Amino acid sequence: MASEEYEREIQVWRQSRLTRLTAPDGWLSLIGKTFLEPRVPLAIGSAAADGGISLPAGAPAELGTVELQAKSVRFTPAGQTVVRIKRAGIPQPEPLTGAVELTSDARGPSDRLFYGDLVLDVMERGDQFAVRVRDVSRAHPEFAAIEYFPIDPAWRLTAKLEPYQPEKAIDLVYESGTEQAYYSPGALVFEKDGVEHRLDPVFESDRKRLWIVFADPTNRDSSYGAGRFLYAALPKDGQVTLDFNQAFSPPCAFSPFVACPLPPFQNRLKVRVEAGEKRPADHA
């Protein structure tokens, strides 16, 4: 049985998770994603033709155009439409006065364009770029609570990091078929009920924590079918705490406009991890 202190810790984590998911910039507000082809301008607006980036009724017929030029995405506003831009590190959006190069999310927070309740940003995965559209009015603070397995402290485990020298390159394959290269500092080796298991964590761009994309047999019946994610703090004295009570469904479990990485073969556990998030109701 979980102690009261540990129970509170997990409940705080769960509430923070729900708050992020239902926030105006959370995954539930995502209403579109359009991939870009090099040197092919795309119109953005409620009257955008097939192949363009369509916005909901009530948005300007022509908000502007966007074009991928080599590794740069350029947005040009249309006419007198007032679009605001929020650069990474800038507290508030500022009026946009002309064409601008947009920073993607590849190396940190992306630039964001604002018009009313609509927010646009650029996603970069490997050599592919896409424009994502959010409608913050569609945030879901009333979203039903996420269903979880019972809190079980036995699923808070200590793993030993067996370092890779040099770091191991791991290509995570996304549901869209694209691949993205990540790097793993080593294998996480842990025991559960006397059986040894191994997982390869990877670094995200800021390298401030470990990210584990894993699968287990619960994916067949009670957790999200494409696997789950887990974060862990960086190793301390060669050890890493893996708390599977904080395992969570990837964003593609909540939005059709997200492509998520699939667990690499070596991260497909044979033990049922009956801890953390269960499958969202819409995917039951």
Mean pLDDT of 41-46: 94
Q: Does residue 183 register a pLDDT over 60? A: yes
**Inside any domain, residue 267:** yes
Domain count, the chain: 2
**Inside any domain, residue 14:** no
Distance CA 114, CA 73 (A): 16
Tokens of 78: 């249309």
Domain boundary among 114, 138, 162: 138
Name the E strands within 99-205. 100-102, 112-115, 118-125, 128-135, 156-173, 179-192, 195-199, 202-203
Q: Do 107 and 212 belong together in one domain?
A: no
In this predicted structure, what is the pLDDT of residue 141?
A: 54
Per-residue confidence band for 45, with pLDDT thresholds at 50, 70 and 90: very high
Torsion angle, alpha carbons of 226, 209, 143, 279, to 10: 20
Helix, strand, coil shares of the chain as percentages rounded to 5?
Answer: 15, 40, 45
Mean pLDDT of 48-77: 91
Contact 232, 208 (CB under 8 A): no
Q: Which residues pair with 163 in a beta bridge?
A: 186
Summarize pLDDT for 114-148 with one digit per residue, the tens. 999 999 999 988 788 999 999 988 766 556 678 99
Left (φ > 0), alpha (ψ -120 to 50) or beta: where does 39 sit? Answer: left
Summarize pLDDT for 9-42 with one digit per residue, the tens. 999 999 999 989 888 888 889 999 999 999 999 9
Q: Do 154 and 270 belong together in one domain?
A: yes
In this predicted structure, what is the pLDDT of residue 61?
A: 93
Summarize pLDDT for 196-251 with one digit per residue, the tens. 999 999 999 889 999 999 999 999 999 999 999 999 999 999 999 999 999 999 99
Q: Do 112 and 197 belong together in one domain?
A: no
Q: Do 153 and 244 belong together in one domain?
A: yes
pTM: 0.85
Domain that holds residue 48: 27-138
Tokens of 69: 């030029």
